[in-house]
A and B are shown apart, each in its own frame.
Chain A
C-alpha cells in the first residue's frame, strides 16, 4: 500500500469534491423533506433516476441539450412531488410509514424504468463529456464541474431563501411547530406542497447531473441510498448546507481511500464516518 503521488492525491480530492457535490444535491431534497416535512422519501432516488433517464431520452433521441432539458424536467417533477405529498398527507402517513410508501413508489418507478429502457447499462453521449479543462497537472471534466456548480449554487440559494425571505421563514416556522405557525396565519399546507414540489424538482436536477456523468441502470437507484443518507444525517436534518458539506467530506474521504487502498473499499467510508459521529457526538446526528 504505497502512498500515491501528490498529483494523484490532488486529483483524488478533486474527484471526491465532484462526487460530494452530487451527494449534496441528492441529499438536499431528502434532508428538507425529512427535517421539515417529517417524511423520509426513499422515492427521491427513484425520481432522480427517472430524471436521468428522461434526460438521456431527450438528449439521445431528440437531440435536446441535457441542461436545456431542465426546463422540462423541473416543472414536471415539481408536479410529481406535490402529488406524492398530497397522497401522504391525505392518508396521514406517519414518518415511518412514509418510508415504506415511498419504497413502494421506488419499486414501481424501477419497474417502469426497466420496462421502458431495459436493464441494460445506458450512457449519455453528450458534447459536455468531451470537454476537459486542465489546471496544471489536474483534469477537470466539464460534467462534474457543472454538477459542482449546481450543487453549490442551489444549496446556497436554498439556504438564503430559507433564512432571508418571508416564505422561507414561514416554512421554517411551520416545520418547527405547525399548529402555532398556522395560528399566526401561515398556510402550512400550501407551504408543505410547495416544499415537496421543490424537493422533487431538486431530484430532477440531480438526475440531469447523474445522466451527464454516470452510466445508468435501473438497479443503480439503490446504490446511492446508503451514502446519501449518511450525508443527510451527518449534515443535520433540514439544514440546506449540511448535505453539501457532509457530502463533500464523505466524497473526499472515499476518493482518498480509493486512491490509497482499492476502489472496492469505498462503501466502508460513509458508514464508518456515521458510526464515529454517532459514538462521539450522539446529539449531532438527526
Chain B
C-alpha cells in the first residue's frame, strides 16, 4: 500500500507541473476531463465496486454538489473554494439519508438499490427544478471569480480536478487496504455471512455510500464553475451514472485502480469521436464495449491483467510465512477462547421460550435450552425439527419471533448479528458459504479481524495461518474457495469460525457429506478444539460422532425440545426413537441402536 501511495503522489506531483509547461490549453481541457471522470468513477467504485451495491444515482449526488456550489457562490457570495467542502457535505448528507432508508430494509439487495438510486436522480432533479434553487432557467455562474491557483483559468480548473482526483484515489486506496475495505468486499460476496462474522454491514454500507456521495459532490462543485451555467436538464441525466458504471466495470471494480484505467480509456475514446455524426458512433461504441467487456472480461481490463500476471508468477509467493508457525502446531494450535476453563459448568447461553415462524410455518415453538461453559452440547432431531433454525436464531442470522436468548448474562435476541459475533459467538454453515472472491487465507483472516478477537490485519493474518495449519489447509492458503473440494471447504468453515476466537462455537452439520475417514479426522479436530476450552453446540446426524463427542444432547422435534440429557440414555427413550424412526421401530431399535455397530450405520443412513 505504501508503494502505491508513493506512486500516486509522485504521479500527482508530476501532473501538477503541467500548467507551467506552456502546452496548448487544449491539453489541459482533455486532462481536466480525464481527471474529472477518474474522480467520479473512483468515488462511485468506493461503495459500488467494493460492496457490490451498484448505485445508479451518482448523477444525483454530483448534481447536488453542483447546485450547492452554484447557489452558495451566486446567492450568498461565498468564495468558490469554500463552497467545495459544503458541496461534498450536502451530497454526503443526502446520500446518508437515502442509504439509511434503503439499507434498513432487508429486501433491498443490489438490484433494488440500483433502481432506487436511479429514481432518486429524478426526484432530486424535480425538487431542484420546482424550488427557487433553480426554478427553471438554470443558474449562471459567469460572475463568480475563478481563484488564481494556476497561471490561467484553464490551468486552475485542471489543478482543481487533479487535487480532487488525487484525494479520491487516495481515499479509494486507503479504504481498499483497511478493515473497512475488507468488510465491504465481504459484503459483496455474502452479506449475511459477513454480518454473522462480525462485519457491521449497515454501518459500513452507509459509511461507504456517504464517502462516495461526498466525493462526487466535490467533483460536481468544481464542474459547476467549469461549465459556469448549471441546468437540471444537463445535470441530472441518466448518461452520467451509466458512463461512470461503464468506466468502473471496464477497468475492473474489485481493484482501487480499476476505475482509473476505465475512465482514461473511455474519456479518450469519446474524445476521439466528438463532433457531429461521429458522436453517435462514439456512443454506440461505448455500448458495444460495455457488452463485450461484461461478456468476455467480467473482471474488467485491470482485473483480467492482474489475473494473468498472478497466473504467470504462480501461486508460490503466498505460502511464505508458514514455517515460523510450526511450533504452535505441535502444542495443538492457539487458544480458542480468551478465558478458557474459567467458571466451567456455569450457564453460558440460555434460551427461554424462543419462537420463530416463517410466514405462518412455526419452525421453533417455544424452545428452552441451556448451554454450559466448556461442554459439547449436541442438538439432534429429525430433518425440519428446528435445529438449524435455532443456530440461525442464536447467531442473529434470523430475528426471533418471540422469546429471549441470553449469552454470557447479556440478552442477544434482537441485537444485530455482528454484535453477537463480537460477544464471542461463531458458527459454521451446513452448506459452506465462503467468500467466493477472497482467498482461503483472507477468508480465515476476516473473522479474526471482525469477530471477538478484533485483531488488526497483520495479526489477523498470522492468526489465520495458525488456523489453516490447525485444519490442514496451509497449502491452499492462496487458493480461492471455488478450487477446494467439499472436505476442504468444510474445514475452511471450521477455520473461519475458530479464527474469531469464540467462546461458543456452533457447528451446523459439519460432518454431512464427508467420508468415514474424513469424519474421523473431523471428530479428532473437534476434540482438539474442545480441549482448548471452547464451548461447542453440535448439530449432527452422524450418530457415531454424536456419541463420541457430546457431553449432553438435546432432542428437537417439530420445533420443540423433546428430551435432554446424557446421549446414551436419551437416545434410548421410546419417545426419541419414535420421533426418529417412527412408532413401529421404537422398541426394537432402542436397545440395538447403541449396543452394536451395525444399527448405528442404519441410523446414519436414515438421516443422510
Report A's interface with B, CB cutoff 8 A: 40, 87, 91, 93, 95-97, 99-101, 103-108, 110-112, 114-115, 222, 225-226, 229-230, 233, 262, 264-268, 270-272, 274-275, 278-279, 282-283, 285-286
B residues near A265, Cβ cutoff 8 Å: 126, 130
Cβ of B283 within 8 Å of any chain A Cβ, yes or no, is: yes
* CB pair A229 B115 closer than 8 Å: yes
On whether A107 and B283 interact (CB within 8 A), knowing A101-B291, A101-B294, the answer reads: yes
Interface size class of B (residues with CB under 8 A): 35 or more
Bound CA–CA A91/B293 (angstroms): 12
What are the interface flags for B229-242 relative to A under an 8 Å C-beta threshold, 1 for contact and 0 otherwise?
00000000110001
Bound CA–CA A50/B126 (angstroms): 28
* CB pair A274 B119 closer than 8 Å: yes
* CB pair A225 B238 closer than 8 Å: yes
* CB pair B238 A222 closer than 8 Å: yes
Cβ of B9 within 8 Å of any chain A Cβ, yes or no, is: no
B residues near A268, Cβ cutoff 8 Å: 123, 126-127
B residues near A101, Cβ cutoff 8 Å: 290-291, 294-295
3 tightest Cβ-Cβ pairs between the two chains A and B:
A107-B287, A111-B284, A104-B290
What are the interface flags for B280-304 relative to A under an 8 Å C-beta threshold, 1 for contact and 0 otherwise?
1101101111110011101000000
* CB pair A226 B122 closer than 8 Å: yes
On whether A271 and B120 interact (CB within 8 A), knowing A40-B111, A286-B111, the answer reads: yes
* CB pair B295 A93 closer than 8 Å: yes
B residues near A95, Cβ cutoff 8 Å: 111
Bound CA–CA A226/B238 (angstroms): 10
Which residue of chain B has the shortest Cβ distance to A34 in the bound complex?
B111
Bound CA–CA A93/B125 (angstroms): 33
Cβ of B245 within 8 Å of any chain A Cβ, yes or no, is: yes
Which residue of chain A has the shortest Cβ distance to B289 in the bound complex?
A104
A-B contact count (CB 8 A): 116
* CB pair A97 B126 closer than 8 Å: no
Bound CA–CA A282/B116 (angstroms): 14
B residues near A275, Cβ cutoff 8 Å: 101
On whether A112 and B101 interact (CB within 8 A), knowing A107-B290, A233-B112, the answer reads: no
B residues near A262, Cβ cutoff 8 Å: 130
Which residue of chain A has the shortest Cβ distance to B238 in the bound complex?
A222
Which residue of chain B has the shortest Cβ distance to A274 in the bound complex?
B119
Cβ of B107 within 8 Å of any chain A Cβ, yes or no, is: yes
* CB pair B118 A226 closer than 8 Å: yes
B residues near A108, Cβ cutoff 8 Å: 284, 287-288, 291
A residues near B102, Cβ cutoff 8 Å: 278
Report B's interface with A, CB cutoff 8 A: 52, 54, 101-102, 105-108, 110-112, 114-116, 118-123, 125-127, 129-130, 237-238, 242, 245, 249, 277, 280-281, 283-284, 286-291, 294-296, 298
Bound CA–CA A264/B9 (angstroms): 46
B residues near A229, Cβ cutoff 8 Å: 115, 118-119
Bound CA–CA A114/B296 (angstroms): 28
* CB pair A100 B245 closer than 8 Å: yes
* CB pair A270 B119 closer than 8 Å: yes
* 21 A-B contacts (beta carbon < 8 Å): A40-B111, A99-B114, A103-B242, A103-B245, A104-B287, A104-B294, A107-B287, A111-B281, A114-B283, A115-B277, A222-B238, A225-B118, A226-B119, A262-B130, A264-B126, A267-B126, A268-B127, A274-B116, A278-B105, A278-B107, A278-B116
Bound CA–CA A285/B286 (angstroms): 33
Bound CA–CA A128/B296 (angstroms): 47
Other-chain contact of A286, B112, B119, B121, B249 (Cβ < 8 Å): B112
* CB pair B107 A286 closer than 8 Å: yes
Which residue of chain A has the shortest Cβ distance to B120 in the bound complex?
A271
* CB pair B123 A271 closer than 8 Å: yes
Which residue of chain A has the shortest Cβ distance to B283 in the bound complex?
A111
Bound CA–CA A107/B266 (angstroms): 15
* CB pair A107 B107 closer than 8 Å: no
Bound CA–CA A239/B130 (angstroms): 35
Closest beta carbon of chain B to A14's beta carbon, Å: 24
* CB pair B101 A283 closer than 8 Å: no
A residues near B242, Cβ cutoff 8 Å: 103, 107
Bound CA–CA A115/B283 (angstroms): 11
A residues near B237, Cβ cutoff 8 Å: 222
Bound CA–CA A111/B105 (angstroms): 37
Bound CA–CA A48/B538 (angstroms): 56
A residues near B291, Cβ cutoff 8 Å: 101, 104-105, 108
Name, among A103, A270, A283, the residue most crowded by chain B CB atoms within 10 Å (CB to CB): A103
Which residue of chain A has the shortest Cβ distance to B292 in the bound complex?
A104
A residues near B123, Cβ cutoff 8 Å: 267-268, 271-272
Which residue of chain B has the shortest Cβ distance to A113 in the bound complex?
B280
Bound CA–CA A260/B67 (angstroms): 28
Bound CA–CA A40/B112 (angstroms): 11
B residues near A233, Cβ cutoff 8 Å: 112, 115
* CB pair A111 B112 closer than 8 Å: no
Which residue of chain B has the shortest Cβ distance to A221 in the bound complex?
B238
Bound CA–CA A31/B108 (angstroms): 17
Other-chain contact of B122, A271, A282, A285 (Cβ < 8 Å): A271
On whether A97 and B294 interact (CB within 8 A), knowing A233-B115, A264-B130, the answer reads: yes
* CB pair A105 B119 closer than 8 Å: no
B residues near A111, Cβ cutoff 8 Å: 280-281, 283-284, 287
Given contacts A99-B54, A107-B290, A111-B284, 6 further A-B contacts (CB under 8 A): A97-B298, A264-B129, A274-B116, A278-B102, A282-B105, A282-B108
Bound CA–CA A226/B118 (angstroms): 7
Closest beta carbon of chain A to B356's beta carbon, Å: 16
* CB pair A100 B105 closer than 8 Å: no
Bound CA–CA A98/B110 (angstroms): 13
A residues near B295, Cβ cutoff 8 Å: 87, 91, 93, 101
B residues near A93, Cβ cutoff 8 Å: 294-295
A residues near B129, Cβ cutoff 8 Å: 264
* CB pair B294 A107 closer than 8 Å: no
A residues near B101, Cβ cutoff 8 Å: 275, 278-279
Closest beta carbon of chain B to A123's beta carbon, Å: 21
Bound CA–CA A87/B292 (angstroms): 11
On whether A115 and B280 interact (CB within 8 A), knowing A96-B111, A267-B123, the answer reads: yes
Bound CA–CA A74/B475 (angstroms): 58
B residues near A271, Cβ cutoff 8 Å: 119-120, 122-123
* CB pair A96 B105 closer than 8 Å: no
Closest beta carbon of chain B to A205's beta carbon, Å: 23
Bound CA–CA A75/B290 (angstroms): 28
Bound CA–CA A115/B277 (angstroms): 8
A residues near B286, Cβ cutoff 8 Å: 107
B residues near A104, Cβ cutoff 8 Å: 287-291, 294
Bound CA–CA A274/B121 (angstroms): 14
Name, among B110, B111, B249, the residue most crowded by chain A CB atoms within 10 Å (CB to CB): B111
Closest beta carbon of chain A to B101's beta carbon, Å: 7
Bound CA–CA A104/B280 (angstroms): 14
Bound CA–CA A102/B353 (angstroms): 50
* CB pair B238 A107 closer than 8 Å: no
Bound CA–CA A286/B112 (angstroms): 8
Closest beta carbon of chain A to B268's beta carbon, Å: 18
Name, among B102, B130, B289, the residue most crowded by chain A CB atoms within 10 Å (CB to CB): B130
